[in-house]
Every structure is written in C-alpha cells, then in structure tokens.
C-alpha cells in the first residue's frame, strides 16, 4: 500500500540522506515526537527507502519540456535534460550517491509533462475564484515566451573558408604603438582578432600585423609584416572583436602558405561555420513558410507608364484569391483588383503605414462575370455611398475583402546563393545556378510585387450584412463596375514548389471535357495537358476521389480529328482538390496503347512552337525560383514556426523578409515591435500575446494534429491590448478571442477600452500543417556543416524534421476598426 507522506514533506526534506547515519534514530525520534507511533514507523521506513541505492536507468525523452542528452553517473547512463541533470546532481550530493530519493526527484521535475498538465488543470479549476495562490511550478506564472527572428535573405557567401584559430600576433598602429592580440579566426586574406583593454580601432584604419605565433615553427622574421585594413569592429565592454582584410595581396608566397596551412589544419581547428549555419537555419524556415503563404504575391510589369499584373505565385492557401479574380473563361482579372488609379491610392496608404482595403463582389449575367469593387480610400469622397456599397456587396455570395500592399524589388534580390559556392564549387548544382541574363532582363521589367491578402470570413460577412443599402444609387453603383476587356491580359500562375516532380512538359490548353464515372457525368474545361495526363476544372463539384477510374471525352477535339476516337478514354484520378472542382488525371494503360496519349503526343509534336507551357519558367529557366526568392526577401507578414518538442509543440522562431524589415518605418508601431518591447532579453521577441491564450494553444495542440499538409489554413481571430505604462507583462497584456464576445456591442466596448488603455491589435492566426521538406535544396550546406561539425549537422537535421506547422500572423487591426466604426454609425 502506498502511503501519502505529503503532510510530512518538511520532515522528509530535513532528514533526507541521513537515514544511514549513526545518530539518525535519536534525532528523528526527537523531531517526530508529535507523530503517532505507527505513522512514525512508516515515515522512518520511507526515509530509509529513499536513501537505498538505486540501479534503475532514467530516460526522460518525450516526458519533459526540454532537450534530453546522454548523462553518465558512475558508469550508468541516463537520458536527461538540463533541469533533470541539475536536480540529479543536487540530490546525489545530499544522499551520497544514486538512490531512490534521487530517482524520484528526477522523475518529478517542474518541467515534467505530467506536472505541467496537473498545474494547468489546477489553474483552470481555480480560474473562477480569482485567488492569488502560489503556483506549484513556475510554468503558470510564465510571462516570457522568447523567440528569435530569422530573416529571409540572399545569404551572401564567403569568398574563403575561415578557420577557428587562436595565435599570438602583434599589431602596429598608425601612431607606431605596438599592442599584443590574439586571433579568433583566419582565412587567406582575412583575420579576426580579439583585443582587451586596448586602444580603439575604426573602420578603414590600416595596421601592420606580425604573426608571433608562427615565428618558432616557421621561417618568420621580424620583416614578415603584413598590412591589413579594419573592416568591422564589435565592442563589448573592455573587449573588441576586429575584422581585418589583407591589402598587400601581392604577397603570393604568404597566401600560398596560409592556404596550405588552413587546408591541412581545418579539421583540427574546425572551420568557422557561423555564416553557413545562420543561412541554413533561415533557408529551412523559408522553404516551409513559402509553401503555405496566405497572401497572393502578384508581380507587376511596367507597360509604358502603367503597371499590369504579370505573374502570380500560388499555394494551397492563396489559390482561392487567385481564382476569385478570373472571368468565366478562366482568364485573369487581377487588373480589376490592382488598377492604375488604385495603385496610386495604395502608395498613399502605404506612406501612412496602412494597407489598402478593397471591397468587391461579382455579378453574373447570362453566364458572364461582371466585377465591382471599391476601396477604403474612395470612402473619403462619399462616405454614405461607401457604407451602402459595402452593405450591398455583403448581401452577395461573392462578397470579398482584400488587403493590398506592395514592395519595390530589384534583380539583385532574386538570387540566393549557397554560402559554400565559392568554397567548394562541386556543391554548386542546377538548384542554385546564378541568374541568367534573360532572367535578369525579365526581373528588370518587374519593379513591384503587390501582396493581396484575402480577409473574407463568415463572421465578418455576417457583421457587414447588418449595414443597410436601402436607397442605394444604382447609377453610381455602375461607376464602380469594371468594363470587360476585349482581349484578356496575360497573367501566368506559378505554383511555389521546391521539388521537381513533373516528368513531362505541360502545356496550357482549354477545351471542353466530359468526365463520367458510374453513369454520372460532369462537364468542365481542361486547364493544361501533357502526353500522359491533364488537369480539368469542373463546372460543378464531382463526387470523385484519388484512385477512381473515369471515362473522359473531348467533344470539340473529336470534331477536328477522325483518326482518333476521343470518347470514353480511361483515366485515373491522381488528385482532386478539397472543393472537388479541380481534377488531375493520368492515363490508364492496361494491355493496349492509350489513344489519348497517342493523340496528345502527336498534338505536341506538330504544334510545339504554338503551344504555351503552363509555367512561364518553362520558357525562361530559373525565373520561377528567382520570383520565389524576390518575394521571400520582401515577405512582410511575420510567421511563427511550430516545432515538435517531445510530445508537445514549441514556438521559438519568427521569420520575416530582410528587405521588408529594413524598409519598414522605424517609428511604426506594430505587434512585432510591441513583442520586442515586452521581452526581457535583447534581440528576442516575447510571444506572450500569442501563446498565453489557452484557446490559441488548444488550436496548436488539437487542430495541428488533425489538419493535413494539403489542407487550407485554420484561422482564429484574437483581440490584443497592451498597456505600455505597466511593467508586469501579465497585467499589461490582455488577449480575447473574437468568438468569445456574445454581442457586437461587447466587442466594440472592448476595442474602445483597449484604445483608451494603450495599443490595440486584431491578430488573425492562420495555422497550416507543414509540407514534407525537400532536402536536396538544403543538402549542399548541410553536408558541408556535417563534414566539420557533425553534432551541429545532426542538430540542424533535427530542426528540419521538427517543423510541424507554421502560423502566419495576419494583422487585421485596420479592417476591424473600420468595420466596427461602420457598425457604430449604422
């Protein structure tokens, strides 16, 4: 029978480790005189049990919120995290060795998932009481959720390998003063040194360096002095780290000596891998992020003095926005969303630190689509009509809200070289080729990328429906309709992809098609085809699944050929989207040649120069990856990476485009800057506004386990208020989900109080499951790191496969304030 000794815990703590001492019985009898005899006997036996030697191995992997490592104690191996190692060592010293008391203390550390769960249950049960009871662990009182910010960059590579190497040197300054220093790392033409309590040095200074450490082993004399120029200086209290570059490069004998010395000793002293490790960490997160972006990047081509949409990068999360702006013939109408007049208003809004909000709907008449749109800047000229327009649009099933922003781009932002390119050229492959002159010419014609973020949701639409459009001026409404174009603009859709999966060239081709399965027919239009497959966009959802065998007919193509029977051709469904409207098919070949494959093969051979490949990158190799990089380095919506930690999830990394961060107004206050101010660590962001909310954590814990990599994001809107005048984080920050408010009035009251209190943010967290990583795009740098630091290579591999999902943090503050303002007026 297990006896509960918790009420005697203070007595146990006082006598732990003393049960085998000579005077234990006397001291224990005096201290436990008030305890009944039977209970005193059991307590004494418990203390002796805790002091008994233990031989059990401890493995905490997956049981604690921490990274476990191998820990050896007196020849016995355990797997413990840092907290458990500290507890083990402390208790082993008290008990005089590894005993059951040590074993149970290590198994019951504060970061054990069992204790965390019990503490959370305790907190939830006592939340209504609002009592300030001390927490059993410091997990409940946690107000710091530190995260590092990684920038998507062009990752400039080093021209030379740097070797971590400490050697004594003498520096002669301009004033002839000689000081002693120590090198930190060295390359053929570069050197980093460490100075302590020495004269300050500035960028551009020229100094003479003598390698005193080489004097004894090599033929270095006092005349072997080399000139270096200061490139950068980092100061930390009394220490300086100074980066130097050799300027007398004509010294070929010294260069040959350093090259041979580094190559011969770099495995002993280890190559400085900081640059490559930092680049690879960001590149890992970049791949996961770009495959799941929610905003639609549209690259704008300059046509005379105007801009027109030219390329759109699509993912599973932004494809609905791309498809929304297409007419009944599947031609792009993004020029209706991003008009020339609207672009100038977008510039004005961006100068004010705002996005341009566009409200739109589609009217269908006799099968033709007519697009209507109005943006929030147009509200200034006629607010009454703006309210009625939004109310009228909200009454339509096609109502949509889109936030527009833009970034200027240049061709030098489109190339992301490996950091090892100049070091080991064999690593350079087709995955990382420099931009060709043709690609650079294409990018030069694309000075802007516009990001279109769809803000439409069922809850928002329901609120806009409360507005009235009674008495709307229909004549004025027509002015906001977009005239149908006589000729469609060319906008190429390029799906963001890191894997080369296609085995055949696909061509764009639209022709009616009829799919039949089990006597049920669906009509549609082909989007593209290859010799062995094609994609069909259906007029209505089809009850099909991957693996189904269907019969495919081409009525219009049959009219132009008599040599092939293009009716009831067998195809297999290899993929179908969630809405059941887009089907990917592959030929089903049994014992005979497939007629459809023969027909399309002949069609391609005879019309290859007339057909258009489905991706413009097919015509211009390298363009799609360049556009992907251009967007990545300008990504303005921060994303949080969700990684596995044992059986739980952790969020410790944020990602953002380097140029978006650099070009952001320094005075602009946003949630990211507020999280930096809430942190008690330099250059770290406190995710308390995001992770302190129980419902948001449940979203990560529960929804992430259910959604699949091919599913769209799961969204949740949170209202966050921050009082900058309060130092305590838990008192300064208040977080409520929009779904928690029972009425719109309560929601508006919360927003009003938040604005009076300090900063208010409406943040929509869009959670997506990560796709499978394409290791070939990471292999060059990963293998280079593993060659010189295998433990760091293993850690980075674990980091790659630990990414379970990502949360894009979409700022909805502007639209939320506008919507609540309109509802208040109404």
Q: Write out pLDDT tens, residues 45-89.
A: 778 888 888 888 888 876 777 777 888 888 788 888 888 898 898
Q: Map tokens 């081509």 to a residue.
A: 301
Helix (H, G, I), strand (E, B) or coil at 92: helix
Point out the domain boundary residue: 90, 116, 142: 116
Token readout for 448 is 């802007």
Give the pLDDT of residue 368: 92
Question: Is the pLDDT higher at 147 or at 775?
Answer: 147
Q: Distance from first CA to last CA of the chain, Å, rounded?
A: 70
The verdict on residue 816 lying in a domain is yes
Rounded Cα distance between 210 and 172, Å, is: 8
Mean pLDDT across the stretch 351-372? Answer: 94
| Number of structural domains the chain divides into | 5
For 531, counting Cβ atoms within 10 Å of its Cβ (0-12 exposed, 13-18 middle, 19+ buried), the class is buried
Give the pLDDT of residue 426: 44
Query: Binning pLDDT at 50, 70 and 90, where does residue 575 land?
Result: confident
Query: Binning pLDDT at 50, 70 and 90, where does residue 121 land?
Result: low
Q: Residue 162: in which H helix or E strand, if any?
A: none
Domain match, 85 and 197 both? no
Q: Which of 161-170, 211-220, 456-465, 469-478 has the lowest mean pLDDT?
A: 211-220
- DSSP character string of 624-671: HHHHHHHHHTT--S-EEEEEEETTEEEEEEEEEEHHHHHHS-TT---H
Domain match, 249 and 351 both? no
Q: Residue 782: in which H helix or E strand, if any?
A: helix 779-788
% the chain with pLDDT above 70: 89
Rounded Cα distance between 568 and 557, Å, is: 13
Give the pLDDT of residue 811: 93
Cα–Cα distances in Å, from 111 out to 121, 321, 689, 702, 763? 15, 44, 22, 21, 30
Residue 654 in this model has a pLDDT that exceeds 90: yes
Rounded Cα distance between 70 and 660, Å, is: 42
Domain match, 702 and 564 both? no
Domain match, 715 and 690 both? yes
Q: What's the chain's average pLDDT? A: 84
Nearest to 335 by CA among 231, 450, 239: 450
Point out the domain boundary residue: 60, 82, 116: 116
Chain CA centroid to CA 211, Å: 45
Cα–Cα distances in Å, from 74 out to 55, 99, 493? 11, 12, 63
Whether residue 630 contacts residue 409, with contact meaning beta carbons closer than 8 Å, is answered with yes
The verdict on residue 436 lying in a domain is no
Mean pLDDT across the stretch 653-671? Answer: 83
Give the pLDDT of residue 478: 94
Whether residue 661 contacts residue 151, with contact meaning beta carbons closer than 8 Å, is answered with yes
Global pTM reads 0.69
Nearest to 624 by CA among 492, 529, 453: 492
DSSP summary character for residue 504:
S
Domain match, 681 and 819 both? yes
Question: Is the pLDDT higher at 52 or at 25?
Answer: 52
Token readout for 317 is 């999360």
Domain match, 102 and 10 both? yes
Helix (H, G, I), strand (E, B) or coil at 37: helix
The verdict on residue 439 lying in a domain is no
Give the pLDDT of residue 122: 58
Mean pLDDT across the stretch 185-213? Answer: 84
Cα–Cα distances in Å, from 625 out to 448, 449, 495, 499, 654? 17, 15, 10, 11, 23
For 30, counting Cβ atoms within 10 Å of its Cβ (0-12 exposed, 13-18 middle, 19+ buried), the class is exposed
Residue 421 in this model has a pLDDT that exceeds 80: no
Domain match, 310 and 235 both? no
Rounded Cα distance between 587 and 778, Å, is: 34
Q: Write out pLDDT tens, residues 721-732.
A: 999 888 889 889
The verdict on residue 67 lying in a domain is yes
Indicate the angle between helix axes 623-632 and 274-290, nearest 10 degrees.
Answer: 100
The verdict on residue 101 lying in a domain is yes
Give the pLDDT of residue 316: 92
Domain span holding position 450: 294-409+446-495
Residue 133 in this model has a pLDDT that exceeds 60: no
Domain match, 306 and 349 both? yes
Point out the domain boundary residue: 85, 116, 147: 116
For 142, counting Cβ atoms within 10 Å of its Cβ (0-12 exposed, 13-18 middle, 19+ buried), the class is middle
Residue 141 in this model has a pLDDT that exceeds 70: no
Task: Find the CATH number of the domain harbouring 195.
Answer: 2.40.10.220
Give the pLDDT of residue 222: 65
Q: Write out pLDDT tens, residues 307-338.
A: 899 999 999 999 999 999 999 988 999 999 99
Rounded Cα distance between 54 and 52, Å, is: 6
Question: Is the pLDDT higher at 163 or at 293?
Answer: 293
Give the pLDDT of residue 560: 85
Cα torsion angle, 19, 25, 30, 32, sign? positive
Q: Write out pLDDT tens, residues 756-788.
A: 888 999 999 999 999 988 888 888 888 888 888
Whether residue 387 contacts residue 825, with contact meaning beta carbons closer than 8 Å, is answered with yes
Whether residue 152 contacts residue 634, with contact meaning beta carbons closer than 8 Å, is answered with no
Query: Binning pLDDT at 50, 70 and 90, where does residue 127 land?
Result: very low
Mean pLDDT across the stretch 95-101? Answer: 87
Q: Highest mean pLDDT range out of 18-27, 46-55, 171-180, 802-811?
A: 802-811
Helices (H) and strands (E) in the chain, counts: 29, 32
% the chain with pLDDT above 90: 34
Domain match, 476 and 511 both? no
Token readout for 16 is 């732990």
Rounded Cα distance between 167 and 182, Å, is: 6
Q: Which residues pair with 452 in a beta bridge?
A: 296, 404
Q: Write out pLDDT tens, residues 587-624.
A: 887 645 788 888 888 888 888 777 776 654 445 678 88
Residue 805 in this model has a pLDDT that exceeds 90: yes
Helix (H, G, I), strand (E, B) or coil at 363: strand
The verdict on residue 585 lying in a domain is yes
Domain match, 698 and 807 both? yes
Q: Which residues pair with 685 in a beta bridge?
A: 147
Give the pLDDT of residue 614: 63
Rounded Cα distance between 400 and 354, Å, is: 19
The verdict on residue 393 lying in a domain is yes
Nearest to 393 by CA among 318, 487, 340, 460: 460
Cα–Cα distances in Å, from 420 out to 24, 270, 659, 665? 66, 15, 23, 34
Q: Map tokens 């929509």 to a residue.
A: 764
Show Cβ contacts of residue 447 under 8 Å, excluding neighbours closer than 6 positions. Answer: 300, 302, 408, 409, 410
Rg (CA), the chain: 33
For 146, counting Cβ atoms within 10 Å of its Cβ (0-12 exposed, 13-18 middle, 19+ buried), the class is middle
Domain match, 464 and 564 both? no
Rounded Cα distance between 471 and 448, Å, is: 40
SS3 content of the chain, % helix, strand, coil (to 5): 35, 25, 35
Nearest to 582 by CA among 522, 517, 655, 628: 522
Question: Is the pLDDT higher at 591 or at 19?
Answer: 19
Q: Which of 202-206, 269-273, 559-563, 675-679 has the lowest mean pLDDT?
A: 269-273
Query: Binning pLDDT at 50, 70 and 90, where does residue 120 land?
Result: low
Q: Highest mean pLDDT range out of 655-664, 786-795, 806-815?
A: 806-815
Residue 211 burial (CB count, 10 A): 20
Nearest to 635 by CA among 614, 656, 655, 621: 656
Q: Write out pLDDT tens, residues 423-459.
A: 544 444 556 678 888 888 899 999 999 999 999 999 9
Whether residue 80 contacts residue 107, with contact meaning beta carbons closer than 8 Å, is answered with no
The verdict on residue 484 lying in a domain is yes
Residue 496 in this model has a pLDDT that exceeds 80: yes
Domain match, 390 and 522 both? no
Mean pLDDT across the stretch 85-98? Answer: 87
Rounded Cα distance between 127 and 115, Å, is: 18
């Amino acid at each position: 029978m297990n006896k509960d000794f918790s009420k005697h815990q203070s007595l146990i703590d006082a006598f732990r480790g003393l049960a085998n001492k000579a005077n234990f019985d006397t001291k224990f009898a005096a201290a436990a005189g008030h305890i009944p005899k039977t209970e005193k006997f059991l307590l004494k036996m418990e203390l002796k049990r805790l002091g008994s030697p233990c031989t059990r191995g401890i493995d905490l992997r997956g049981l604690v919120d921490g990274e476990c490592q191998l820990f050896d104690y007196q020849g016995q191996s355990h797997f413990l995290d840092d907290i458990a190692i500290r507890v083990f060592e402390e208790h082993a010293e008290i008990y005089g060795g590894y005993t059951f008391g040590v074993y149970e203390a290590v198994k019951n550390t504060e970061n054990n998932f069992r204790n965390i769960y019990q503490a959370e249950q305790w907190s939830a049960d006592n939340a209504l009481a609002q009592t300030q009871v001390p927490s059993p662990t410091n997990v409940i009182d946690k107000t710091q959720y530190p995260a590092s910010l990684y920038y998507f960059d062009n990752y400039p590579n080093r021209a030379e390998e740097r070797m971590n190497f400490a050697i004594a040197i003498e520096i002669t300054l301009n004033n002839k003063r000689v000081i002693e220093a120590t090198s930190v790392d060295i390359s053929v033409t570069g050197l980093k040194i460490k100075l302590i309590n020495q004269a300050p040095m500035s960028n551009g200074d020229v100094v003479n360096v003598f390698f005193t450490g080489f004097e004894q082993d090599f033929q270095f004399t006092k005349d072997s002095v080399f000139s270096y120029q200061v490139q950068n200086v980092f100061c930390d209290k009394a220490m300086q780290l100074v980066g130097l570059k050799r300027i007398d490069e004509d010294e070929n004998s010294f260069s040959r000596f350093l090259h041979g010395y580094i190559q011969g000793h770099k495995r002993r002293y280890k190559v400085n891998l900081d640059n490559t490790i930092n680049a690879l960490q960001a590149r890992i997160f970049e791949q996961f992020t770009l495959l799941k972006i929610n905003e639609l990047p549209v690259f704008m081509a300059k046509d005379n003095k105007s801009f027109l949409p030219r390329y759109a990068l699509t993912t599973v999360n932004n494809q609905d926005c791309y498809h929304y702006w297409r007419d009944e013939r599947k031609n792009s109408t993004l020029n209706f969303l991003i008009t020339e007049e609207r672009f100038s208003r977008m510039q004005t809004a961006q100068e004010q630190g705002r996005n341009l909000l566009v409200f739109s709907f589609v009217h269908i008449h006799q099968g033709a689509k007519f697009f209507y749109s109005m943006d929030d800047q147009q509200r200034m000229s006629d607010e009454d009509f703006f309210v009625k327009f939004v109310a009228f649009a909200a009454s339509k099933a096609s109502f949509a809200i889109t936030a527009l922003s833009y970034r200027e781009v240049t061709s030098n932002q489109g190339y992301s070289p490996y950091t090892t390119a100049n070091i080991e050229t064999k690593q350079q492959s087709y995955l990382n080729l420099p931009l060709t002159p043709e690609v650079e010419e294409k990018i030069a014609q694309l000075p802007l990328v516009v990001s279109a973020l769809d803000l439409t949701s069922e809850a928002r639409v329901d609120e806009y429906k409360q507005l009235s459009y009674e008495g709307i001026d229909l004549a004025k409404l027509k002015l906001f309709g977009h005239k149908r174009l006589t000729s469609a603009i060319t906008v190429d859709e390029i799906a963001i992809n890191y894997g080369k999966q296609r085995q055949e060239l696909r061509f764009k081709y639209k022709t009616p098609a009829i799919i039949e399965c089990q006597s049920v027919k669906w009509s549609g239009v082909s989007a593209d085809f290859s010799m062995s497959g094609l994609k069909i966009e259906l007029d209505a959802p089809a009850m099909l699944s991957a693996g189904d065998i269907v019969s495919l007919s081409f009525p219009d193509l049959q009219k132009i050929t008599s040599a092939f029977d293009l009716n009831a051709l067998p195809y297999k469904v290899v993929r179908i989207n969630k809405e059941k409207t887009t089907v990917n098919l592959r030929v089903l070949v049994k014992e005979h040649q497939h007629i459809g494959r023969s027909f399309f093969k002949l069609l391609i051979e005879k019309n290859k120069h007339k057909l258009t490949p489905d991706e413009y990158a097919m015509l211009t190799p390298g363009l799609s990856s360049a556009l992907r990089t251009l967007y990545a380095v300008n990504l303005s919506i921060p994303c949080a990476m969700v990684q596995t930690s044992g059986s739980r999830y952790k969020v410790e990394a944020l990602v953002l485009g380097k140029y978006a961060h650099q070009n952001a107004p320094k005075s602009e206050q946003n949630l990211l800057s507020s999280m930096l101010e809430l942190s008690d660590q330099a250059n770290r962001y406190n995710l308390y506004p995001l992770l302190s909310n129980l419902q948001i954590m449940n979203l990560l814990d529960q929804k992430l386990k259910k959604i699949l990599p091919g599913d769209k994001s799961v969204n949740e809107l949170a209202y966050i208020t921050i009082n900058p005048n309060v130092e305590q984080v838990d008192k300064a920050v208040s977080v409520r989900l929009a779904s928690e408010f029972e009425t719109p009035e309560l929601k508006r009251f919360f927003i009003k109080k938040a604005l009076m209190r300090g900063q208010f943010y409406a943040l929509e967290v869009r959670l997506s499951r990560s796709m499978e990583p394409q290791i070939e795009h990471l292999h060059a740098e990963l293998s280079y790191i593993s060659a010189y630091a295998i433990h760091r290579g293993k850690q980075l591999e674990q980091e790659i496969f630990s990414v379970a999902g990502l949360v894009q943090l979409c700022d909805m503050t502007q639209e939320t304030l506008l919507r609540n303002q309109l509802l208040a007026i109404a």
